[in-house]
Structure 1
Amino acid sequence: MEKKPYITEAIIGNSSMLVSLTKDGQAQRITWPNIDFPQHLNLFYTGIRGIEGSIKTFFLHDNVWKHQQAYISGTNILETISTLGEVGLSIRQLDFVVPDQDVYIRHFTFRNISNYPQNLDFVIYSDFMIDEKRRYQTVMFDEDTDSFVHYHREYGFAIGSDTHVKKYQCGATFKETNDGFLPGKRIANRSSAGIEYGPIHIPANGEHSLTLYIAAGKGSKGALESLKQVKKSSFDELYKQTVTYWHDYLDQANPIDFKDERGKNVYERSLLMFHLMNNKNGGFIAAPEVDEEYAYSGGYAYCWGRDAAYTATAYARAGYHERVRHFFRFASTLQEDNGSFEHRHYLDGLLAPSWGLQIDETGSILWGMHQFYSLTKDDSFIEEMWPTVEKAADFLTKFIDPVTHLPLPSMDIWEKREAEHFYSAAAVYGGLKGAADFADKQGYSEKARLYAKTAQAMKKTILQIGYNETSGSFFRGFHLRLDEPAYQNKKAQGKDVAMEYDQKGYPVYRQIRDDVIDICLLGLQVPFNMIDANDPKMKQTAATIDRLCRSKIIGGIERFPGDIYISGDPWIIATLWLAIYYARINEQLEAKKLYNWVIDHATELGLLAEQIDKVTGRPAWVLPLTWSHAMFILTVQEFKEKGIEI
């Protein structure tokens, strides 16, 4: 398989097909029939042969081209303009997925900007890895539709055009395609094909257009049927239909009065991006996958309850209530028999690769459900969700350390450490407070009192013994699990440590108080409202975070001192988290500075990464990150409520 780039410049899709592209307009990944899995594309190169009579193929990803890229305003239609100035050729490429059909449209307009006519051939090298497999692939040419079908088992992709095929070779290598050696083999038990369309005659200062259709369907027959259906409409009809769809979608949002056009663009792009990250069955993914081999991470194209709760809340506040209700219906199907919600899931509902229970996931989903009800006041939502809420809240009241009254040790928000984390406690607090309100409205007063009492006990512990006077911050948590070398090191430093044995007799090493300063401590206030924003301990914690976590090189807020994930850069969510908190304590100038930093570090397309490289100022990892866009929308909504100009 071709090594895929870790930075995606653009995405397009329709909630069942998701396509990732780079700045040269090259399609890198196609996931279908869900947006998380499986990924089917290895390579899809497009190019031109015949420039000035040359037999050389100029592929559009070659570095001889200059590229400009933008979304068509208010849509998920991507425009890439590639120019080869010395030979007088410009190619305008439009990429989009039809909203109600699983068809990827690629429309090319060749512009001859010279004073002499040009005769060209359009070349494609198409190499699929259907179902993420390199073996068992077949590609065949279908004479009836003048198209090519890549298929394996239940997945098929048909490639057709509004221009007739001139030459082809099923099973061609890239070299053969590049050299124009396409002798016409009709079928091959291979993954690749070389295709030529032409001749394309372009008069001096004239232009010529060609449309490609990549149609997905069940097996080869389904793909061909999908191709036949989409070709019943002209490109102009499909383009207009798609533009109208995205404009109508944006019109559903609650109006926001933006003074700054840059902020408006990022906000609209966030809403458009949400649709692409929201699967047809309601689930959200954290990001388009960029690390399939888990070289630097555990993967991103999964549905986390935590990320999705933030996203659903932002989506609801923006006005998309039906989509959010659809998500919570999906989330309800993921609940375990004991009432908890596991770490993360595939969008078909199956448990994804995991590294342990994160109790904040369960708390966050309950919190998100209550946030949704608080916005909509829809009592039918309580009726529908009550069985899920009751089961989860009952679990949370039992998953409690009887000594600290905090949730028992589980993995932290960053998925690296096991402890009784304060952020996790805040999420559980928010979830239980919401569940208490639901119980009260359902007439279960005893349960309402139990849920509220459990939540209040957590808050009492953190306020009474959870603040570190030495550092000027709340502790990050209690009973942090260590490996033996770290335990010995902490013991030598005079830290409070302890050793116990689990049920199988293995030693378990712990640090009693985790004193690392971490942006997640803002979760005690934003968004879960456990600690009052103006509580002196909360204000001092925020001040300490700002002092220790603000990047000395580029600005922006890092997660915690000494962070080594990727390159320890400032995160978009961390920066916006602090911006929201500052807005809540009426530090408007500081809030606005952080907000503007994020806008300044959005990409040219208005997308927000997970991290910003502290040296280059460019995205350092995962782009776009759904949670980053969710925090941006939540920040805008917070500013609107506080009267802060945006």
Structure 2
Amino acid sequence: MQKKPYLIDAVIGNSRMLAALDRRGQLHRLWWPGIDRPQHVEESYAGVYVHGKSEKVSWLHQEPWQHQQSYLGDTPILQTRAYSPELQLEVTCEDEMVPQTDVMMRHYTLVNRGTQEHSLTFLYYSSMQMGENPLYNTTMFDFEHDALVHYRHQYAVAVSASEPVSGYQAGNVRENIEQARLNGNPIDMQKEGGLSWSLGAVGPGESKQITLFFAAGDGPDQACAELCKAVSEGREALRRLTLDYWKNYLDSGKQVRTGNEAIDRLYRRSLIIFRLMMDEKFGSVIAAPELDEEFSRCGGYAYCWGRDAAYIIAAVDRAGYPLMGHEFYRWTLKTQSGDGSWQQRHYLDGRLAPQWGLQMDETGSILWGMWQHYLMTGEVSFLEEVWPAVKKGAQFLVQSIDPETGLPLPSRDLWEERDGEHTYTAAAVYGGLTGAAEIARALGREELSISWRQAAENIRAAISGQLWNEERQAFFRGLKLAVSPEQMAKAKAEGKRTAVQVNHKGYRTHMIWEDPVIDASLLGVSVPFALFPAEDERAVKTADAIERSLTSQPIGGIKRYEDDKYIGGNPWILTTLWLAMYRVRQGQTEQAVKWLNWAVDHRTQLDLLPEQIDRHTGEAAWVVPLTWSHAMFVLTVLDLMEAGVFKGKS
């Protein structure tokens, strides 16, 4: 598969297909039949040939074309306008996924902005590695459906248009298509193919339109059947279906009017992102569209983390979509491990994904989230449905306490970078146990409720007794931080407490007892897990230390932790909004609005929220969009609305 850009500019989808495009309108990735996998596109783009004026095809994503891009209102329909001063030609592409189908449409309008007549041929180059596999792909032209078909095993995509195809070629197409010459080869065991359409003469100020349909299916026959249906229904009917779907979706959620159009528009875009990132079939949610298929700079993002999802579903529920929340927690019932834990991350079909090891906060977050979902819906039937999983999960957490410290046993931290007994993890486990205790109480299991509540209180006592760092006036990030033997020896020489644990196979873990690093996740003791109230003196001092130590200069925003190296150590949208949410709870709403506005100011041109903002340029630095970022934005806006900050009303 050809190397793809890490950062993309736009996403379109319908909860069963998902696509990522850049600001020039080039389609880089297309996921189907899940929004997480597999991804089929290697290269996919359109061009024009002006007879008598062009030496070769002018591809719309290349120079000298100039581009403008926007979403069509409050929809995920992407509009990319390209203009060529050289050809005096304007081409507008509207990309959309048709709801409840396996169809993508790319509608092109070509306008002659010059003073002379143009004779135009429109061309499309398509290279697909079906199922992300470079081997055994076939591309063929289907005469019955006037379509180019890519297929391998069960995956197939058929491409046709609203106008009759003029030329086609399967295999070895690149050189010929550059000259607008396709040789009519009908089939080849290759990944690439090309199509052309003669659009005829276009006078000054006149326009031509053509709609391309991409239909996916289980094998060529099903893909062609989907294609035939879409072409027969036509673009206008499918567009009405798309517009109606998104209008109804937004109308069914909580309406927010803050008096600030940028905030309101970003709120609506966030609701759309939630739907795009949640899989229609399974009910699960991805952290982000995949941007690093080869794990070259990270471990991938197109998976479901229980931690991210707990925040995301809290936002989804509060925004007025409880059915989506219920579908997600129903999905968690089949992903729970036999020991009662939830592992770090899963594919959307529920299978275990690649991971770095157990994160105790995942289990705690899901149990906490189940109780939060019930608080929004009041549906006792939901509690009864999840009760077996709640019981197993709570018992797992109770049995996973370190008798030496009273904290959850060592596991990976929420950033997936270090092992230890982390303060955030302990707060999440506290939240999970209190949530489980409340569920047990609501279902009349008083004995278990009392037991789990006591286990949670024991964790609170352990944190109070051992995790306050008087020197830094903040909570320690954790205890028993796993380090290299050299790091432990250095710490020991400096007079710091260290320890060594030996497992039953004889392998040693070297540890520094206290981890003093200031980390934004320490806010979790108050928000959202309420282990300590926001007005608790230690929580206040910790939040102040976070703001003091982690504010990035000169751009602003809050970094994850001191000396963060990941992608350059940039401020994150979600950590900045985490501090905003804490300030709301604390009653410092002006400070909260300041941090909210920072996030709004650093959205992309298309109102998408990245994971990180470049600490030097202020531009998106990594992962666009990050679903967790959008969730924290929605939660912050709703917190401020409920605090009476905005003049508008929800």
TM-score bin (small chain)? over 0.9
Counterpart CA distance in 1 for 2:453 and 2:588 is 31
Counterpart CA distance in 1 for 2:180 and 2:486 is 61
Report the Cα offset of residue 61 of structure 1: 1.2
Q: Aligned partner of 1:449: which letter? A: I
Q: Is the 8 A contact 2:28 2:44 kept in 1?
A: yes
The equivalent residue for 2:338 is 337
The equivalent residue for 2:474 is 473
Q: Aligned partner of 1:292: which letter? A: E
Report the Cα offset of residue 52 of structure 1: 5.1
Q: Aligned partner of 2:268: which letter? A: E
The yes-or-no answer on 1:397 pairing with 2:405 is no
Change (3 A) 1:180 1:440: same
Q: Is the 8 A contact 2:70 2:79 kept in 1?
A: yes
The equivalent residue for 1:170 is 170
Deviation string 1:296-323 (CA, Å, 9 cap, x unpaired) is 0000000111101110110000000111
Q: Is the 8 A contact 2:64 2:86 kept in 1?
A: no
The equivalent residue for 1:270 is 270
The equivalent residue for 1:279 is 279
The yes-or-no answer on 1:596 pairing with 2:597 is yes
Q: Secondary structure at the match of 2:438?
A: helix
Counterpart CA distance in 2 for 1:273 and 1:375 is 21
The equivalent residue for 2:460 is 459
Q: Is the 8 A contact 1:172 1:194 kept in 2?
A: no
Q: Secondary structure at the match of 2:574?
A: helix
Q: Is the 8 A contact 2:67 2:83 kept in 1?
A: yes
| Superposition pairs of residues 145-156 of structure 1, within 5 angstroms | 145-156=145-156
The equivalent residue for 1:412 is 413
Counterpart CA distance in 2 for 1:262 and 1:402 is 51
| Superposition pairs of residues 186-585 of structure 1, within 5 angstroms | 186-280=186-280, 281-585=282-586
Counterpart CA distance in 2 for 1:285 and 1:179 is 41
Deviation string 1:588-622 (CA, Å, 9 cap, x unpaired) is 22111110000000011100000000111111000
The equivalent residue for 2:70 is 70
Q: Aligned partner of 2:200: which letter? A: I
Q: Aligned partner of 2:387: which letter? A: W
Report the Cα offset of residue 54 of structure 1: 1.9
Q: Aligned partner of 1:285: which letter? A: I
The yes-or-no answer on 1:95 pairing with 2:95 is yes
Per mean C-alpha deviation after superposition, the further-off stretch among 420-429 and 458-467 is 458-467
Q: Which runs of 4+ in 1 moved over 3 A?
A: none
Q: Aligned partner of 1:278: which letter? A: M
Counterpart CA distance in 2 for 1:374 and 1:478 is 33
Q: What are structure 2's unaligned runs of at least 5 residues? A: none
Counterpart CA distance in 1 for 2:10 and 2:567 is 21
Counterpart CA distance in 1 for 2:380 and 2:582 is 31
Q: Aligned partner of 2:7: which letter? A: I
Q: Is the 8 A contact 2:142 2:149 kept in 1?
A: yes
Q: Secondary structure at the match of 1:333?
A: helix
Q: Secondary structure at the match of 1:165?
A: coil
The equivalent residue for 2:41 is 41
Q: Secondary structure at the match of 1:92?
A: strand
Q: Aligned partner of 2:390: which letter? A: V
Q: Secondary structure at the match of 1:211?
A: strand
Q: Is the 8 A contact 1:51 1:87 kept in 2?
A: no
Q: Secondary structure at the match of 2:449?
A: helix
Q: Aligned partner of 2:49: which letter? A: R
Counterpart CA distance in 1 for 2:494 and 2:565 is 22
Q: Aligned partner of 1:590: which letter? A: Q
Scaled by the length of structure 1, what TM-score is found?
A: 0.99
Change (3 A) 1:19 1:454: same
Q: Secondary structure at the match of 1:79?
A: strand
Q: Is the 8 A contact 2:258 2:641 kept in 1?
A: no
Counterpart CA distance in 2 for 1:383 and 1:577 is 32
Q: Aligned partner of 2:105: which letter? A: I
Counterpart CA distance in 1 for 2:363 and 2:501 is 27
Q: Is the 8 A contact 2:172 2:192 kept in 1?
A: yes
Report the Cα offset of residue 500 of structure 1: 2.6
Q: Aligned partner of 2:301: which letter? A: Y
Q: Is the 8 A contact 2:98 2:104 kept in 1?
A: yes
Counterpart CA distance in 1 for 2:261 and 2:273 is 18
Q: Secondary structure at the match of 2:366?
A: helix
The equivalent residue for 1:127 is 127
Counterpart CA distance in 1 for 2:6 and 2:170 is 30
The equivalent residue for 1:26 is 26
Q: Is the 8 A contact 1:17 1:102 kept in 2?
A: yes
Deviation string 1:413-470 (CA, Å, 9 cap, x unpaired) is 0001111111011111111111101111211111001110000011111112210010
The equivalent residue for 1:631 is 632
Report the Cα offset of residue 19 of structure 1: 0.5
| Superposition pairs of residues 43-62 of structure 1, within 5 angstroms | 43-50=43-50, 53-62=53-62
Report the Cα offset of residue 195 of structure 1: 1.5
* Identity across matched positions, percent: 43
Counterpart CA distance in 2 for 1:231 and 1:181 is 26
Report the Cα offset of residue 376 of structure 1: 1.0
The equivalent residue for 1:116 is 116
Q: Is the 8 A contact 1:201 1:208 kept in 2?
A: no
The equivalent residue for 1:613 is 614
Scaled by the length of structure 2, what TM-score is found?
A: 0.98
Counterpart CA distance in 2 for 1:446 and 1:541 is 35
Q: Is the 8 A contact 2:149 2:158 kept in 1?
A: yes
Q: Is the 8 A contact 1:52 1:87 kept in 2?
A: no
Deviation string 1:331-386 (CA, Å, 9 cap, x unpaired) is 11100111100010011111000110000000000111100101111111111111
Calculate the aligned-residue CA RMSD, in Å: 1.0
Counterpart CA distance in 2 for 1:220 and 1:286 is 31
